[in-house]
């Protein structure tokens, strides 16, 4: 088809289509109610063909996770490289995070992380999230020590923040009634200012 793509690129693209379709189906119908046959049909191939691209069903979750965590960590690298105040870093992190997880592959990861049946994979998945959470705690601590953030329990705050951000994945649709700009604005206002009138 596309003669200008190398073999490797074509393979990568097909894997991406598989992940994207699977992720969407998992979000709509749930992981266990989506069979590999269902996923195969979306690509107009048969189930065994999938096994050329993935090790097994669970590997879809793992690959979605790798992609998403890779993006988040790269974003964190960028945000933290700017050496601004903790408040500004947190602000930028939230802004970028919302953009990243507004994507089927990322949503799939958020919903299924830490739920692999294979224990090794499950532990790795939990660790991946802990690593990211640790980096966000670092930002919060920075903000507290430079005086730009209120003194608080950084662990609890980080968790609460992730909960409300990750919760977006189950209701926010980029083509829905709430616009992305407005959403980011509200989240940022809530997190930074709270709800109490001044």
In the numeric block, which tokens belong to residue 9? 């690129």
Residue 151 to residues 7, 88, 166, Cα–Cα distance (Å): 54, 16, 24
Which partner in DNA, a copy of itself, none is near 127 (CB below 5 to 8 A by kind)?
Answer: none
Residue 35 gets the label, from left (phi > 0), alpha (psi -120 to 50) or beta, of beta
Contact between 100 and a copy of itself (CB under 8 A)? no
Which partner in a copy of itself, DNA, none is near 56 (CB below 5 to 8 A by kind)?
Answer: DNA
**Radius of gyration of the chain from its Cα atoms, rounded to whole angstroms:** 19
Which partner in a copy of itself, DNA, none is near 46 (CB below 5 to 8 A by kind)?
Answer: DNA
- Nearest Cα neighbor of 39 from 144, 141, 27 is 27
Q: Which is nearer to a copy of itself, 8 or 163 (CB)?
A: 163
Contact between 127 and a copy of itself (CB under 8 A)? no
From candidates 74, 164, 173, 176, binder to a copy of itself by CB under 8 A: 164
Q: Which residues within the stretch 21-50 sit at the binding site for a copy of itself (CB under 8 A)?
A: 30-33
């Amino acid at each position: 088809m596309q003669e200008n793509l190398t073999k490797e690129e074509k393979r990568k693209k097909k894997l991406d289509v598989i992940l994207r379709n699977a992720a969407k189906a998992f979000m709509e119908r749930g992981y266990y109610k989506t069979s590999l046959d269902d996923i195969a049909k979306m690509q107009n191939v048969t189930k065994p063909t999938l096994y050329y691209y993935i090790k097994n069903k669970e590997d879809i979750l793992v690959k979605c996770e790798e992609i998403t965590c890779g993006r988040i960590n790269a974003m964190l690298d960028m945000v933290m490289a700017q050496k601004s105040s903790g408040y500004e870093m947190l602000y930028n992190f939230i802004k970028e995070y919302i953009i990243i997880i507004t994507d089927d592959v990322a949503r799939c990861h958020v919903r299924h992380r830490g739920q692999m049946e294979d224990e090794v994979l499950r532990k790795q998945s939990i660790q991946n999230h802990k690593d990211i959470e640790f980096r966000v705690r670092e930002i919060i601590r920075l903000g507290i020590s430079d005086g730009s953030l209120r003194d608080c329990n950084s662990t609890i705050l980080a968790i609460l923040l992730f909960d409300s951000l990750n919760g977006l994945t189950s209701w926010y649709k980029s083509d829905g009634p709430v616009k992305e700009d407005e959403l980011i604005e509200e989240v940022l206002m809530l997190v930074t200012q709270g709800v109490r009138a001044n």
